[in-house]
Amino acid sequence: MEPHPRDPGRTAWALPCLLLLALPGVGAQDFSVHQPQDKLSVAAGETLTLNCTTSGMVIIGGVRWLKGWGSGNKTIYDQREKDRYPRVMRAVDGSDSDFTIHIRNVQPEDTGTYYCVKFRKNDSGEDEFFQRGNGTEVSVHAKPSPLFLSGPEQRMRPEQSASFSCTTGGFFPKEIEVKWFMNMVPLMAQQPQISEWRGKTYNMSSTVMVTLQKAYVHSQLICEVQHSTLQDPLRGSYQLSRVLQVPPSVKVHAEPSPVEVNKTVTFTCLVKEFYPANVSISWLENGIEIKVPNVSQPSELRSGLFQLRSQVDVQATEEKNGSTITCMVVHDGQASTNTSAFLWISNMAQEESRKGSPINKDDMVIYIVVGVVCTMLAVLVAAILYLIRTKQMKGKSSPSARLHEPEKSSEATTQESDPNNLTYADLNFDKERKTIRRMVEMSQQSEYACIQTNRAPNGDDNLTYADLDMVHLSKAPKRPAPRPEEASSEYASVQITRK
């Protein structure tokens, strides 16, 4: 097919028109750049579409998209160098009036104001600014990155306070809300720390303090973040078992002691309520390790903690009497915990044989000698106690007095004995030597005699003698007993019945 021949007349009038357009100011009023979008909001990762069209006479020169205006602008798209902008492509490729572009996978750093700019050729053949659109302000909303929760680097024991952090970043705008929960129960947390990153996005860090308990093995922390770019809040969880360390309680049980010789005694080591499960048990007899053939494995309780029971058998020989059996527990690489029990042995067989065998002569002699010695010691002790008691009683007993009446005359003997013709002596000696506390009873039918006594010549402090040799005591008017004359005297009152 032959090419269509050019019309000589058409060519003739087109050339002057191009020359006129090339002149400065010619056709400028008839040319305009239309940028209809004032503001755009797009989520990070989406495709941004910027609309731009031109109208009027054709101006020799290209069209570019610039981000920003002035000295800090940046070229986003140039038709002549389109390979330099792999994320940007024209909506209508090759069009002389539609310069709409698409920017794929926009990021928060793409936030800014974009201008569609028309350039034209100057006299030297270089592009110079000719006209631009009003600009489109673009904001890229970025979702927070997946949450990252962290805790202490080392395990911690119950009643210790542990710090946990929740972080996220790359979000825009700045406003963000953070909540903490433990087993769906809200927790009080510090205000989140928000920092700017690369001038367009923000990072967030939130911290909460938790006092650990051994019942928190199954518990978890939840960090919840709400942002304007999210339909549903972001959530991150942290299992407290990752940092919890519960040391075990260790007890050793053995059969009641003492045990018979040559009997096998079982010692049991009970390791209770510990976490995590990594634990090792070793048995020692007087500091020397005992090999245990069967190694037990921890069993999990309903609370999430673990327990372990280990047993060892020991032969109760006589040389092992009083041995120390120790259970040594090492939990989670910590210092060992030791608990011990003792092995006491009784030789029951020998004791029974001694009970059943007859006693020989030597043993009998020994038993007799021991019995006699014990009896003599008992008698001696009793005698000493008796003497001490007797001395004490004598010291407390009243002095005695002996009354001697002279022999009566024959006339008196021939007379009939009269019961009223009696003489009585009532000697009441006080226990104290220097004072008389008892007073002689007063009677109208009594006569009184005051007797002064002296100590016996043999030095017996507990006996006082009074010899009364009398035939008749003169009667005297009734009067009270006389008072002692000397502090060292002892007195007795004599009561004589009237005839």
Q: What is the pLDDT of residue 416?
A: 43
Q: Is 386 exposed, middle or buried (0-12, 13-18, 19+ CB in 10 A)?
A: exposed
**Architecture field, domain 249-348:** Sandwich (2.60)
Superfamily (CATH) of domain 25-141: Immunoglobulins (2.60.40.10)
* CB-CB contact of 446 with 475 (8 Å): no
Report angle CA 306, 187, 208 to the nearest 5 degrees: 80
Residue 248 contacts by C-beta under 8 Å, 6 or more apart in sequence? Answer: 271, 272, 273, 274, 279, 307, 308, 329, 331, 337
Q: What is the pLDDT of residue 468?
A: 46
| Distance, CA of 340 to CA of 87 (rounded, Å) | 75
Pick one of 2.60.40.10, 3.20.20.220, 3.40.640.10, 2.40.30.200 as the CATH number of 148-242: 2.60.40.10
Query: What is the secondary structure of 227-277 as a DSSP string?
Result: -TT-SS-EEEEEEGGGTB-BPPEEEEE---SSEETTEEEEEEEEEEEEBSS
Q: Which of 332, 289, 331 lies closest to 312, judged by CA?
A: 289
Both tokens of residue 220? 């978890």
CA distances from 342 to 36, 184, 250, 253, 284 (A): 95, 50, 16, 10, 12
Q: What is the pLDDT of residue 304?
A: 95
| Distance, CA of 389 to CA of 392 (rounded, Å) | 5
Q: What is the pLDDT of residue 482?
A: 55
- Residue whose structure tokens are 């989520």: 43
Q: What is the pLDDT of residue 268?
A: 94
Q: What is the pLDDT of residue 436?
A: 40
Distance in Å from the first CA to the final CA of the chain:
200
Q: What is the pLDDT along the chain (499 residues), one digit of tens a residue?
A: 333 444 444 334 343 443 434 444 444 568 899 999 999 999 888 999 999 999 988 888 889 999 999 888 899 999 888 788 999 999 998 888 899 999 999 988 888 999 999 998 888 878 888 999 999 999 889 989 999 999 999 999 999 999 999 999 989 889 999 999 999 899 999 899 999 887 678 999 999 999 999 999 999 999 999 999 999 999 999 999 999 999 999 999 988 878 889 899 999 999 999 999 999 999 999 999 998 888 889 999 999 999 999 999 999 898 999 999 999 999 998 999 999 999 998 864 444 445 444 555 566 778 788 888 888 888 888 888 888 888 877 765 544 444 444 444 444 433 444 444 444 444 444 444 444 444 444 444 444 444 444 444 454 444 444 444 444 444 445 555 555 544 444 444 545 454 4
